[in-house]
């Protein structure tokens, strides 16, 4: 059976992603003539690039008499609760220590002097609101949905997650985005709704900001020991976060959610 929804193949998803980068290059060059503030420029560039890309997808599907019909509904609050615990504990116990202690020195990333991440309004707006919503619509609501029409769940999740990770550019960020993207893809596959993944994505980014703030207040920018991450309480914070991570993972696997067998009507 021929599926009309666009994109529904790896090649089509790659074309759309290249289109996004094309919009990105044009818009950032144009904004450079009018806006000097780098944070405002980055925020507007991402917002406009995503909206332009989604507009193209909308009209291509409209031409084929297809509807996007992106679902935001949340029905299983137990799943959402334990998923939130999982991503928060992952960020605190695994992601931040991994990034600070291993990936930063491995890729020779200059993160500069620790600063207060809550001082920049546009950075917060972009990180906590704009990016999570638009990225989930594009990569889970469009790419993953389309790929599931013609591919296995594992293949679809891995491909859409890889594309999602690549827009984060820096190798250290790509690794973390891929790990989280696989989980987001799994949740979308089980629920057919990006309402879950948007909330999870917002929570992940917000947790990163709080982690950065704790590091700014009590830790050190340059990590020589695990206690440099969150200060004197680092070991306790990481240990209890790992316990919560394991417990949440067990609870999620115990939850019975009927997997989607067809995505034709999404």
CA distance 179 to 47: 24
- Asked if 156 and 181 touch (Cβ cutoff 8 Å), the reply is no
In a domain, 21, yes or no: no
Confidence at 110, pLDDT banded by 50, 70, 90: low
In a domain, 128, yes or no: yes
Q: How many domains does the chain have?
A: 1
**Token pair belonging to 87:** 């991503």
Give me the pLDDT at residue 211, please. Answer: 73
Residue 9: partners with Cβ closer than 8 Å, 6 or more residues away = 146, 147, 150
CA distance 245 to 159: 25
Kindly report, residue by residue over 58-77, the tens digit of the pLDDT.
999 999 888 888 999 999 99
Diameter over CA atoms, the chain: 60
CA distance 225 to 101: 8
In a domain, 189, yes or no: yes
In a domain, 147, yes or no: yes
Q: Which residue has the tokens 């609050």?
A: 77
The long-range contacts involving 94-100, CB below 8 angstroms and separated by at least 24 positions, are 94/242, 94/245, 95/176, 95/179, 95/208, 96/208, 96/211, 96/215, 96/229, 97/226, 97/229, 97/238, 98/176, 99/172, 99/176, 100/215, 100/223, 100/228, 100/229
In a domain, 89, yes or no: yes
In a domain, 171, yes or no: yes
Kindly report, residue by residue over 37-52, the tens digit of the pLDDT.
888 888 899 999 999 9
In a domain, 211, yes or no: yes
- The residue among 123 and 248 whose pLDDT is bigger is 248
Whether the predicted pLDDT of 145 surpasses 50:
yes
Q: State which residues form the domain around 88.
A: 71-254
Taking residue 11's Cβ as centre, other Cβ atoms within 10 Å add up to 9
Q: Is the pTM of this model over 0.75?
A: yes
CA distance 193 to 197: 8
Taking residue 159's Cβ as centre, other Cβ atoms within 10 Å add up to 19
In a domain, 88, yes or no: yes
Residue 22: partners with Cβ closer than 8 Å, 6 or more residues away = none
Give me the pLDDT at residue 162, please. Answer: 96
Whether the predicted pLDDT of 223 surpasses 70:
no
């Amino acid at each position: 059976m021929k599926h009309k929804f666009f994109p529904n193949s790896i090649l089509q998803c790659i074309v759309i992603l290249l289109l996004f980068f094309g919009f990105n290059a044009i818009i950032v060059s144009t904004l450079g003539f009018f806006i000097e503030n780098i944070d405002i420029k980055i925020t507007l560039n991402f917002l406009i690039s995503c909206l332009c890309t989604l507009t193209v997808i909308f009209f291509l599907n409209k031409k084929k008499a297809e509807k996007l019909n992106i679902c935001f509904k949340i029905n299983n609050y137990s799943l959402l609760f334990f998923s939130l615990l999982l991503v928060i504990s992952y960020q605190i116990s695994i992601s931040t220590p991994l990034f600070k202690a291993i990936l930063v020195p491995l890729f020779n990333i200059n993160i500069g002097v620790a600063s207060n991440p809550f001082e920049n309004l546009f950075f917060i707006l972009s990180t906590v609101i704009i990016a999570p919503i638009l990225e989930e619509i594009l990569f889970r609501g469009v790419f993953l949905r389309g790929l599931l029409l013609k591919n296995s769940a594992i293949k679809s999740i891995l491909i859409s997650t890889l594309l999602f990770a690549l827009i984060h550019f820096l190798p250290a960020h790509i690794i973390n985005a891929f790990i989280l993207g696989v989980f987001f893809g799994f949740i979308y596959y089980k629920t057919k709704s990006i309402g879950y993944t948007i909330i999870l994505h917002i929570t992940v980014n917000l947790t990163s900001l709080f982690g950065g703030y704790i590091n700014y207040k009590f830790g050190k920018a340059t990590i020589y020991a695990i206690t440099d991450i969150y200060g004197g309480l680092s070991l306790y914070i990481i240990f209890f976060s790992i316990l919560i991570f394991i417990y949440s993972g067990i609870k999620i696997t115990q939850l019975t959610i009927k997997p989607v067998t067809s995505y034709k009507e999404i």
